[in-house]
Amino acid sequence: MWISKKIIYLTSAILVSGVIYTACKSVAVTGRKQLSLIPESQMIAMANDQYAQVIQQGPLSTNAAQTAMIKRVGNTIKTAVEKYMAEQGRSKDLEGYNWEFNLIQNDSTVNAWCMPGGKVAFYTGILPVCIDEAGVAVVMGHEVAHAIARHGNERMSQEMVAQTGGQVGSIALSSKSPATQSIFQQAYGVGAQLGVILPYSRKHESEADQMGLVFMAMAGYDPNQAVAFWERMKAASGGQAPPEFMSTHPANERRIADLKAYLPEALKYYHPTK
């Protein structure tokens, strides 16, 4: 029987729409709906492989005090995240997480990141901006929030829809698929420069700021310190940051204003222990 191209296209569109509909998730804390096509277990498996290479390449910091601080803050934030997710009935979202917190010796890299599964890397270059443990908690909460919000999965899912159309369902089922691996590398930037995660969108950055405030507050760190951190980051940039409309990150001024607006909600979770 002859079937018109129009019917084929319509059928494909319906199938893709069905996959996308069933793959819609909600982000913890904010409740925003997002596209999440890839099973988190597969995201974690790919992230574990890449993280192991990053740590092997290192070099890891030999500063015992700084390394201990990163691990201490990381584990405190981890405990807060697990508590928050349990209270929201979302502990299952953390299945497969095997948290790691490492400090990489690189004074020229002002950065930190967290991959799916709780794999965190800090670079020594960001510590002077953090100044102290509270500053580390600001960065830690923010980066962990990216993983909890599954921003990487969302970015990959959007790219899959754009690149593969009707094949998106079958591709998303296999982390060994060359297409999936390629899109993972595009999403995380691990192809050309191992472990350097590409900038998230302004929407993702703002969402991670909001979630990070809640997580650090629950961990016993004053969320007001997030404003102080970004004021220091602004000063450290020397005014060299590009205009907001040219950047995937919110401008420092916008970010600081948004953080101040989020503070009243975050402070509800704050019970000082530090």
**Which is catalytic among the residues 143, 154, 205, 207?**
143
Q: Is 143 a catalytic residue?
A: yes
Q: At what angle do helices 133-148 and 224-237 cross, to 10 degrees?
A: 100
Q: Which residues are catalytic?
A: 143
